[in-house]
Structures are given as structure tokens and as C-alpha cells.
Structure 1
Amino acid sequence: MRLILIAAGVALVVSILLTPYLISLFSRQGFGQEIRQEGPASHQSKRGTPTMGGVAIVAALWAGYFGAHGVGAFLHADGPSASALLVLGLTTVLAVVGFLDDFIKIRKQRNLGLNKTSKLVGQLVAAVAFGILALRFRDADGLTPATTQLSFARDIATLSLGGVGFVLFCYLLVSAWSNAVNLTDGLDGLAAGSMAMVLASYVLVSFWQYRNDCTAAASAGCYQVRDPLDLAVLSAAAVGGCIGFLWWNAAPAKIFMGDTGSLALGGMLAGLSMVTRTELLLIVLGALFVMEAVSVVVQVAVFRTSRRRVFRMAPFHHHFELAGWAETTVIIRFWLLAAVSCALGVALFYSEWLAAIGD
């Protein structure tokens, strides 16, 4: 528990102190956000706001995680684990992809950075490397960071994907979640605040798995998850990084996370879901991101087939803005939706455990 608190605290301090430095640096360099001309008119005033703030979140994540382990060395705690390092690596690679995307947007003064092929290749490389390595590292109990079974709150033995299938599934998850968070990052603080809630849920989930670890006691309902405590530490560091960044990203935002942050955080969610065996549960925990992505898919599909629009604009947070809601009203209500979905997801996780110990 001490390592979890240290990770969150260190990341919070680093993020909240580093972000204003980045605001000043990026402002001097002219690293300002480009705004879509077809977007809500109220957003045009945000043009030029510094972007690539995801650098602060990722830096805080690294500082919080390794800072906690630095203190842990004096407490004779276990060092960094394969599971957490794989998720951290996936997050960092996607942050680099997002950074390149943001940088190209800034240099070319347009709202389009990397082309679709380049972005997909970056996500593919990160996901395939993660998927292959997650099936290879075995601990003393023979557990690997991930398994080829599809999972809800634990592996579903009857739904095996196989090695190749798992790697493909890994790419699907990484691409889907990184893009979903990217689509949600359209209002001040919306993505950062929602991510903090989902990541906090993963602190609870991972810590509960640690407290009911099959390697410690083969009791009813125990979890065969590798390195759950270290995953809680990593998740806590991410929570601290998001909250510290949100201090400066809340409306009116002084900096945006950009693709640097949104792709990285979305990939982190995908990675956490696989190493904690909760791929299907994440759909509930991250329901807000799912709804945002689905709104875009529905809008495009219906428009191409009928030339009609379901929403005034997609992602559908813009629909409510164009309907007359103030931006802060949309943000707060969407945060409430994120909080409800996280509470429901944690409740489902706990109820599954109650059912397991009752069998």
C-alpha cells in the first residue's frame, strides 16, 4: 500500500510542477493546437493553446513508478515486474507515436498529423511487440503477464484465442482503446478526468487481485494474475500524472494533452486490461470512451448509407455543445457518466468474486 501511495504522490507532484514548465516552453516554441474549422465555433478561441501536454503525464508516470520502487528498495520490496514494464513500454511507444503526430500538425499548421497508415503501423508495432512478450515471460509459478484466454474478471477457459489470435486481439484492443481516448479528448479536461477515474478503478482491481492472489493462498475465488501489486503501483502513478495534468488542463485549459497523451493512455488501458485479465470488464469501466468511439462509427456509417446525420457532430460530446450546452456542463456530466461506469465496473468485479467464493 505504501508503494501505491508513493507512486501516486510522486507522479502528482512531477505532473503538476512539470506541466507549467511545458506550457511556457511550448508557448515560446509556438507549439500551439490547430482547431478543426468544421468544429464548434466556440473552439476557435482555443487555437494556439499549447499541446503535447501528454509529455508531462508520461514523464510523471515514469517518475512515480520508478520513484516508488526506489523507495521500495529501502523497504526490501520487490523490484519492477515484467507485467508493469510491458505496460509501461506499450504506453511509452504509443506516446512517441502521438508525439510525432502532434509535432507534424504543429509544423505543417494543420489539424492532420501522421497519415492513417503511419499511425496504424506505429500502433501495430507497439501492440505486436507487447502481445508476443506478454506470453513469454514466466515467473517462478509459471505465470505469464497475459494469457490467450479471453477474460472478464478472470480467464474464461472456454474462450481461447491461441497465440496468433491473441496477438491480433492485442492489436485490436490497443488500436481501439487508443483511438477511443483520442476521440474523447475534445473538451478541456474531459479525457484526463475520465482517465483518472478508470485508472483509479484499476488500482482497486489490481490491489484486490493482489490480496486474493492464488500464489499466496489457493483459496476459493483467488486470481491467477502475475504481478498484481506492481500493476496497482503503475496504475496509481498514472492516476497521479492525470490529476496533476488536469490541474492545468481543466477548463479553460492552458494546455492540451494532444495525441501524445491520448494514444499513450488509451494504450495503457488496453495493456492493463490484458495483464489483469479484464478485457471485457474494461468495456464497462471505460464505457464513456466506448460511447464516444461508437458515436463516430454510427455517424459515419449512417451518413455514408443515407446521407443523414444521427448527431449534430461526432464525437457526440460536440452534439451537446451544438445543442446549446455550455462546455463545462458537458464535461461535468460526462465525468459523472465516467464515474457511474467505473462504479458499476468495480461492483461487477467484486460481485464476480463473491460468486466465485460462493461456488
Structure 2
Amino acid sequence: MALALLLSWIFTGFWISLMKGLGLGKRVRQDGPQTHLTKEGTPSMGGVAFLLAAFLAYLATGKDAFLGLWLLGLGFALLGLLDDLGGSLARPLRAREKLALQSLMALVFALWAARQVAYTPWPILDVLLIALAVVGAANAFNFTDGLDGLLASVAAILLLPFHGYPFAQTLLGGVLGFLWHNAPRAKVFMGDTGSQALGALVAGLFVLSGNLWLLPLAAIVPVLEVLSVVVQVAYFRRTGRRLLRMSPLHHHLELSGWDEAKVVFRFAILTALATALAFGLGGGG
């Protein structure tokens, strides 16, 4: 964990300098909270730095059987990178194309993971459950990544119960090294490169450790974030009005008067409570 944290801290700092030197920065939605307009131009795609740091530390010290999980993370990171570079591509990926690629990668992983651990008497159902968990987590984590330090804080807490696994130790170290630079005011964003990969990796960790059923409760914040988007879209299509001031949920709370740091802090507390309840009641870990 210490090695991954140190590498992540160094790599992320280098990444910030590189992005600034290339003049590449995040574009901020003009219809979002006005306080976010000052973040225009902040370096993004920081997921490249902390994922590389975690992977290198894992190769140096890893002793568990989760090396195959990194292939899943790599696939989702590359897909997220395409999203981050969307404005630079001739034709950005459409939502349905991205979902199809996510589903394909999740299905391949699920076919492998279902041979390692079983959740139902029916292997095909296990495959479907695992694939759904991976795709759902990748998108839920992506929606959660919208405030300085929010997703990194939530992910770090979700990784703590798995402190006995070298995979989790190195990924946690990578996230913490990135969080040093991401704390308000963020000097870098992880981008879709980091958020999609992080969601897939955390979901895969819950799957392979035999704790899949605990994921929806432990990851209550990403679950609420993605549900807020689904409900907002469905309500608008039905009534032509917005149910929330803005989705995902963290933006609604901001526009309702919560400071950004307050949302992050309270969502971290909620995640800690939900994770403790999940592993305490479920007996996982």
C-alpha cells in the first residue's frame, strides 16, 4: 500500500504537469453549479496515473489470485479514455456503443469469475449477476465522480474491508496517492478513465472475494447517484419537468445549498456506515 501510495503521488504530480504543459484540461458544463465554472481547464484523466501506480505496486508485491481482474480494469480504463478524449475523436462513442463494449468486457470477466466463485446453483445466473454488477458499478462510479475528492473517498472506504488482499492494498494506495492531489480544491480529476475502471475493479473485488451480495449496500452512494439519474430522466420524459434540481444527486444537493466539501464529507460518512453495516450484518470480508 505504501509503495502504491508513493508511486501514485509521484505519477499524479507528473501527470498534472504534463497535462498543463499540453494545455489539456476538463471542460465544465455551463448549466451546472456556478461554483464549478472555476474548475474549467483543470487537468483530467488522472486515473492513468493512479491505476498505473497501483498495478506496478501489485506486480512488485502481489500474492493473491486477482491478476486477471487487472485485465478487466485495463479494458474499462481504455474505454473511459475514449470517453475522455471524445471531443478529440472524429466521432465520440455513443451511449449504446459504450454500453455494448462494457457489457462485452463484463461478460468475459463474468465467465472467468463464475469458475472461481459461485453465488447460485446455476452458473449462467452467476455469469449474468456478475456482469450486471460490473457494468452497474462502472457507470455508478462514473456518475459519482463529480465533486473534488468524492469518488476517491468513497472508493477508499469501500476498499478498507479487503485490507488483507494485496490487490486491495495496492489499489487503495493508488487511490490515496491520487486523493492527495484531488482534495479540494482539486488539481486533477480522474476522468472516465479512472472512474469506470475503479467501478469495475471494486465490483470485481467484491465478486472474487465472495461478497457480491454486500456491494449494493456498501456502495450506497454510487447506487443513489445512478438511481437519481434514472429517476430524473424517467420523470422528465413522463412529465416534462425535473424532479431534482439537477442530477446526479450530489449536484442536486449543491444547488439546494450544501457546500461541495459538505457533500463529500457526508457522503464519505454515509459510505463508512453502509460498509460497516454490510460487512457486519453479512459477515463478509
TM-score bracket for this pair, using the shorter chain length: over 0.9
Task: Report the CA distance between 1:113 and its aligned residue.
Answer: 4.7
- 1:146 aligned to 99, 106, 117, which one? 117
Alignment of 1:287-306 (within 5 A): 287-306=220-239
On the 8 A contact 2:117/2:208 being kept in 1, the answer is yes
Provide the identity percentage. 40
Alignment of 1:86-105 (within 5 A): 86-105=68-87
Structure 1 distance, partners of 2:64, 2:161, is 21
Aligned to 2:179: 246
Task: Report the CA distance between 1:316 and its aligned residue.
Answer: 0.9
Taking a change above 3 Å as real, the CA distance of residues 324 and 13 of structure 1, as seen in their structure-2 partners, is same
Aligned to 1:326: 259
Aligned to 1:187: 147
Task: Report the CA distance between 1:310 and its aligned residue.
Answer: 2.2
The yes-or-no answer on 1:44 pairing with 2:23 is no
The yes-or-no answer on 1:118 pairing with 2:100 is no
On the 8 A contact 2:228/2:247 being kept in 1, the answer is yes
Structure 2 distance, partners of 1:28, 1:117, is 34
The yes-or-no answer on 1:20 pairing with 2:2 is no
Task: Report the CA distance between 1:195 and its aligned residue.
Answer: 0.3
Structure 2 distance, partners of 1:92, 1:113, is 20
Structure 2 distance, partners of 1:252, 1:284, is 29
Structure 2 distance, partners of 1:170, 1:278, is 11
Taking a change above 3 Å as real, the CA distance of residues 274 and 256 of structure 1, as seen in their structure-2 partners, is same
Root-mean-square deviation (Å): 1.9
CA deviation vs aligned residue, 1:105-136 (integer Å, no higher than 9, x gap) = 3x269xx953213312321232122122224x
Aligned to 1:64: 57
- 1:268 aligned to 185, 188, 201, which one? 201
Letter paired with 2:39: K
On the 8 A contact 2:80/2:196 being kept in 1, the answer is yes
Alignment of 1:92-241 (within 5 A): 92-105=74-87, 107=88, 113-135=92-114, 144-147=115-118, 149=119, 159-163=120-124, 165-203=125-163, 207=164, 232-241=165-174
Letter paired with 1:62: F
Structure 1 distance, partners of 2:215, 2:113, is 18
- SS of residue paired to 1:145: coil
The yes-or-no answer on 1:280 pairing with 2:213 is yes
Taking a change above 3 Å as real, the CA distance of residues 113 and 181 of structure 1, as seen in their structure-2 partners, is farther
Structure 1 unmatched runs, 5+: 1-7, 70-78, 136-143, 150-158, 208-231, 354-359
Structure 1 distance, partners of 2:93, 2:17, is 25
Letter paired with 1:199: L
Aligned to 1:340: 273
Structure 2 distance, partners of 1:161, 1:31, is 48
On the 8 A contact 1:10/1:67 being kept in 2, the answer is no
Structure 2 unmatched runs, 5+: none
- SS of residue paired to 2:85: helix
On the 8 A contact 2:72/2:201 being kept in 1, the answer is yes
On the 8 A contact 1:174/1:266 being kept in 2, the answer is yes
Structure 2 distance, partners of 1:295, 1:185, is 14
Structure 1 distance, partners of 2:23, 2:129, is 39
Letter paired with 2:220: A
On the 8 A contact 1:86/1:134 being kept in 2, the answer is no
Structure 2 distance, partners of 1:334, 1:310, is 21
CA deviation vs aligned residue, 1:308-334 (integer Å, no higher than 9, x gap) = 322111111111111122111111111
TM-score under structure 1 length normalisation: 0.75
On the 8 A contact 2:64/2:166 being kept in 1, the answer is no
On the 8 A contact 1:189/1:251 being kept in 2, the answer is yes
